[in-house]
Amino acid sequence: MKNNLEHKFKALENQFDIEEPNIGHFDRFEAKLNNSIPKTRKNIFKMVASFSFAASVILFVGIWLGSEFSNKGMQLASVSTEMQETQSYFVSIIEKELSLVESERNSNTEKIISDGLFQIKKLETQYSKLTLALKESNEDKRIIYAMISNFQQRIDVLQSLLLQIEEIKQLKTKNNENYV
């Protein structure tokens, strides 16, 4: 194999181009490369850049207009720091009560829990309407009081629901004791 390669190189010995290129060859080659890129390709890059810029502008304007004219209301927390603390307090109590209710869910309590959660959903819908009214009324005190009252009503519904669940559990325990 080694002899075979040497034989091939000997046969091609004078056919290799080993001379240096003329001075400025690399500059001329680079100029040819730069001129060989079609002008349409350059125009396509410019057009894509223009479209992406225009799309970005449209996106930002759309987001801005969407936030200006959205149907989202103003949360109680955005009124003041005291209202933010109030909302945070009520939300944490409601979440805690909801988790307690969900932990008591079983076949005996399913109907009563569904009814209670339906009442909660109604109150949440009312709260959403109150947030819209608060946004329109520029922080009217009556709407703020109505929002706080809504939170309190939700807590009352959940506490009543927990009391009813406890009564169901006691009745079941009492019935089981009488049965034995």
| pLDDT tens digit sequence for 52-81 | 655 555 655 555 555 444 445 667 667 778
Average pLDDT on 142-171 reads 90
3-class secondary structure for the chain? CHHHHHHHHHHCHHHCCCCCCCCCHHHHHHHHHHHHCCHHHHHHHHHHHHHHHHHHHHHHHHHHHHHHCCCCCCCHHHCCHHHHHHHHHHHHHHHHHHHHHHHCCCCCCHHHHHHHHHHHHHHHHHHHHHHHHHHHHCCCHHHHHHHHHHHHHHHHHHHHHHHHHHHHHHHHHHHHHHHC
* pLDDT top residue among 17 and 155: 155
Write down how long the chain is: 180
* pLDDT top residue among 23 and 1: 23
Whether the pLDDT of residue 159 is over 90: the answer is yes
Which of 68, 119, 81, 83 shows the shortest CA–CA distance to 98?
A: 119
154/166 Cα distance (integer angstroms): 18
Whether the pLDDT of residue 127 is over 70: the answer is yes
